[in-house]
């Protein structure tokens, strides 16, 4: 037992908080992420972490609650991306990039001001790399509540969301307001990304949003299956990563340990690579193919890519 | 403002703006804003790794940015390119976090790799920047026609037998080269911004490829010069000014494009019988 779990793993309070927060974040990110991946909005999904970080650094500067900054920044950024351009595929990337660049510029300014004011030493590192082990237990209920909010929005609009990524004409023909659906999704994504960036740091936020979802969309043939696989993959990689990070305190000679984000991201990256191996894809996707019918909920025709 | 360390800043800033404008023209045309963000942002991990094993950070940056370009190019063949780019980016950042935790890196150095420390450029850093800049521009000049054709008319390009995937990888390598050149001196944020805003604005002003590229270099130069002057006066980070001015240029460009469209629509409506609108 001690080979796998170094002493005190389960008795450690920060570890327990990390396991809970990590699992919640992983599930919410994976669910939102499946739609992000299917709609090819990975760039926006990643950019919102940096936009949220800018909001966080501004909140530090003005002495507001960082959580407010992260979520507010994310929602504002998502709104700006929507205003600048969602009409054309190429324009959308550009809009995301311009908003991202502006947000990074603001983050540079606020981080600089934070450091020169001397109020928050280590702000850069904390904001950029955040650690799941430093989550305060008091923020757990808030994180849970906001996660539920993001999940409810995504589930409420899941069918128009999928349909609109398949065919805009078909969605419009059914009398669905495309703009409203896309804005609702952007808000859900902003809340989820803002939460995960403050809870687990901006690197893990993108990794948990895109990685498990991208792997699961390659492996599964129906929406429900890809949501389940993505969520499970997210939780497993997060918990394994936390375990390895905890154990690594005993591996490295400096007895400092390696960052948890490094382990989780590596596991997710490996999982994504494995999901691309033809043998694995065939083995996993065959059983569900027999049961899947052609319906708007199917991610079948979206699987693969450019 | 024009003496001492500022001279180096003006020189390096000018070189970076020229390369950013030239490479950025294709970044905007091809819609590759994400790789243009991911490669510089992730490559900083290479510098952290190089610090750890005590080699020149330029080598670490080069290795990481080229590996990222090749990795994104290769994995995109089998998966969604945007998801692959995101995963490559977080993998590099996570490696960077691991390197930093192993070394006793001082925090301002992270800040400068990400957001740039152009005011602290030393004279010995200028030569590598100039050499890599020339390499970038020569590479773009060689790839100019095939890149333009695959970006604007993919069908024609395919009919002529141009390999789109190989060209995409070649272009990613040009971005990697621009990254290696610029990140150590101006940071990941600045080069991304200079590749995006000015070129996006330029393409609002004109439809011609050559003119748009020239305009994008001119706007990038105006942006960096103005930003350097403001940063010198106020002591705030250069990256902040560059990103704000770039966004402002883009806003002006979009405004101009909207105005021109309205003007043209009015012209066609007014003299619909005998007008020939040339673009």
Per-residue pLDDT 10s for chain A (306 aa) are 455 666 666 777 778 888 888 898 899 999 999 999 988 889 999 999 889 888 888 887 887 777 788 888 889 998 888 888 655 666 778 888 989 999 988 888 888 887 776 555 555 555 555 667 766 677 778 888 888 999 999 988 888 888 887 777 777 788 888 888 888 888 899 989 888 887 778 888 899 999 999 999 999 888 889 999 999 999 999 999 988 888 877 776 655 677 888 899 999 999 999 988 877 777 766 554 444 444 444 444 444 433
Total structural domains within chain B: 1
B273 has a chain A CB within 8 A of its CB: no
Global pTM reads 0.85
Residue B198 has pLDDT above 70, yes or no: yes
Q: What is the pLDDT of residue B258?
A: 87
Q: What is the pLDDT of residue B216?
A: 94
CB-count exposure of residue A302 (10 Å: 0-12, 13-18, 19+): middle
pLDDT in tens, B201-224: 998 888 888 899 999 999 999 999
Mean pLDDT of B177-193: 83
Task: Name the residue ranges covered by the structural domains of chain A.
Answer: 13-286
Residue B106 has pLDDT above 90, yes or no: no
Residue B279 lies in a domain: no
Is B78's CB within 8 Å of A276's CB? yes
* ipTM of the prediction: 0.85
Residue B278 lies in a domain: no
Residue B151 lies in a domain: yes
Please identify among residues 28-67 of chain B the ones whose CB lies closer than 8 Å to any CB of chain A: 28, 31-34, 36-37
Q: What is the distance in angstroms between the Cα of A247 and the nearest Cα belonging to chain B?
A: 15
**3-state DSSP assignment of residue A222:** strand
Is B31's CB within 8 Å of A94's CB? yes
| Range with lowest mean pLDDT among B100-104, B132-136, B225-229 | B100-104
Mean pLDDT of B103-123: 68
Q: Which residues on chain A are in Cβ contact (under 8 Å) with B86? A: 42-43, 45-46, 206, 209-210
Of B90, B102, B196, the CB nearest to A101: B196
Of B80, B102, B189, the CB nearest to A37: B80
Task: Determine the structural domain holding residue B78 and report its residue range.
Answer: 5-270
Output the CA–CA distances (angstroms, integers) from residue B249 to A69, A106, A108, A292, in the order listed.
Answer: 27, 17, 20, 50
Kindly report the CATH number assigned to the domain that includes residue B162: 1.10.3470.10
Q: Which residues on chain B are in Cβ contact (under 8 Å) with A266? A: 91, 94
Residue B277 has pLDDT above 50, yes or no: no
pLDDT in tens, B77-101: 878 888 999 999 999 988 888 887 7
| Spatial separation of the C-alpha atoms in residues A102 and A54, rounded to whole Å | 9
| Range with lowest mean pLDDT among A206-210, B3-7, B40-44 | B3-7
List the single residue in B with minimal CA-CA distance to A36. B83
Q: Which residues on chain A are in Cβ contact (under 8 Å) with B239? A: 104-105, 108
Is B33's CB within 8 Å of A46's CB? no
> Sorting pLDDT into bands at 50, 70 and 90, what band is B179?
confident
Is B243's CB within 8 Å of A90's CB? no
Phi and psi at residue A222, to the nearest 5°: -130, 160
B37 in Cβ contact with A45 (< 8 Å): no
Bridge partners for A222 per DSSP:
A298
DSSP B201-223: HHHHH---HHHHHHHHHHHHHHH
Token pair recorded at residue A279: 């043998």
Output the CA–CA distances (angstroms, integers) from residue B14 to A72, B120, B130, in the order listed.
Answer: 36, 15, 10
B198 has a chain A CB within 8 A of its CB: no
Is A258's CB within 8 Å of B111's CB? no
**3-state DSSP assignment of residue A298:** strand
Q: What is the pLDDT of residue A3?
A: 57
Q: Which of B241, B246, B250, B238 is nearest to B220 (CA)?
A: B246
> Sorting pLDDT into bands at 50, 70 and 90, what band is B158?
confident
Bridge partners for A298 per DSSP:
A222
| Spatial separation of the C-alpha atoms in residues B38 and B73, rounded to whole Å | 13
The contacts of residue A155 (CB under 8 Å, 6+ apart) are A31
Q: What is the pLDDT of residue B263?
A: 87
List the single residue in B with minimal CA-CA distance to A121. B107
List the single residue in A with minimal CA-CA distance to B152. A90
Q: What is the CATH number of domain A13-286?
A: 1.10.3470.10
Mean residue pLDDT across chain B: 85
The contacts of residue A28 (CB under 8 Å, 6+ apart) are A147, A150, A151, A192, A195, A196
Residue B137 has pLDDT above 90, yes or no: yes
In chain B, % of residues over pLDDT 90: 33
């Amino acid at each position: 037992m001690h080979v796998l779990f170094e002493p005190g793993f389960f008795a450690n309070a920060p570890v327990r908080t990390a396991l809970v927060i990590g699992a919640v974040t992983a599930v919410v990110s994976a669910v939102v992420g499946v739609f992000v991946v299917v709609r090819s909005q990975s760039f926006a999904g990643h950019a919102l972490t940096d936009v949220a970080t800018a909001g966080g650094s501004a909140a530090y500067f003005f002495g507001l609650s960082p959580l407010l900054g992260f979520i507010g920044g994310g929602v504002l950024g998502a709104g700006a991306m929507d205003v600048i351009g969602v009409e054309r595929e190429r324009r959308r990337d550009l809009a995301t990039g311009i908003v991202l660049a502006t947000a990074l510029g603001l983050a540079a300014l606020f981080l600089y001001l934070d450091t020169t004011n001397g109020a928050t030493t280590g702000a850069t590192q904390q904001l950029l790399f955040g650690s799941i082990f430093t989550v305060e237990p008091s923020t757990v209920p808030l994180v849970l509540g906001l996660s539920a909010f993001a999940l409810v929005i995504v589930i409420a609009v899941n069918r128009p969301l999928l349909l609109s990524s398949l065919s805009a004409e078909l969605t419009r023909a059914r009398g669905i307001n495309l703009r409203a659906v896309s804005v609702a999704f952007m808000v859900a994504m902003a809340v989820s990304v803002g939460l995960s960036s403050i809870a687990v740091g901006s690197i893990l936020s993108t990794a948990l949003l895109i990685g498990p979802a991208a792997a699961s969309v390659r492996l599964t043939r129906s929406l429900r299956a890809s949501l389940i696989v993505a969520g499970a993959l997210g939780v497993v990689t997060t918990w394994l990563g936390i375990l390895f990070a905890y154990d690594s305190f005993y591996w490295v000679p400096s007895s400092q340990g390696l960052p948890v984000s490094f382990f989780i991201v590596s596991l997710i990256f490996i999982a994504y690579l494995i999901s691309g191996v033809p043998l694995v894809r065939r083995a996993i996707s065959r059983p569900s193919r027999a049961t899947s019918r052609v319906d708007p909920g199917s991610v079948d025709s979206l699987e693969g890519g450019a | 403002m024009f003496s001492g360390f500022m001279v180096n800043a003006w020189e390096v800033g000018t070189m970076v703006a020229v390369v950013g404008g030239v490479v950025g023209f294709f970044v905007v045309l091809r819609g590759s804003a994400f790789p243009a963000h991911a490669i510089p942002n992730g490559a900083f991990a290479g510098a952290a790794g190089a610090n750890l094993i005590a080699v020149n950070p330029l080598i670490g940056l080069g290795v990481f940015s080229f590996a990222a370009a090749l990795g994104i190019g290769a994995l995109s063949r089998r998966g969604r390119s945007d998801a692959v780019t995101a995963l490559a980016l977080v993998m590099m950042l996570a490696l960077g976090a691991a390197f930093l935790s192993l070394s006793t890196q001082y925090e301002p150095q992270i800040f400068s790799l990400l957001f740039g420390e152009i005011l602290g450029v030393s004279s010995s850093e200028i030569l590598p920047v100039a050499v890599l800049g020339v390499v970038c521009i020569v590479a773009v000049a060689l790839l100019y026609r095939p890149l333009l054709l695959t970006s604007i008319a993919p069908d024609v390009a395919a009919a002529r037998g141009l390999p789109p995937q190989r060209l995409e990888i070649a272009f990613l390598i040009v971005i990697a080269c621009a990254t290696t050149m610029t990140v150590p001196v101006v940071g990941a944020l600045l080069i991304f911004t200079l590749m995006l805003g000015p070129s996006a604005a330029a393409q609002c002003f004109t439809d011609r490829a050559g003119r748009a590229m020239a305009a994008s270099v001119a706007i990038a130069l105006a942006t960096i010069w103005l930003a350097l002057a403001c940063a010198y006066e106020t002591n705030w980070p250069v990256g902040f000014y560059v990103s704000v001015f770039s966004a402002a240029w883009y806003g002006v460009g979009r405004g101009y494009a909207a105005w021109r469209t309205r003007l043209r629509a009015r012209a066609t409506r007014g003299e619909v019988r005998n007008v020939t609108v040339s673009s």
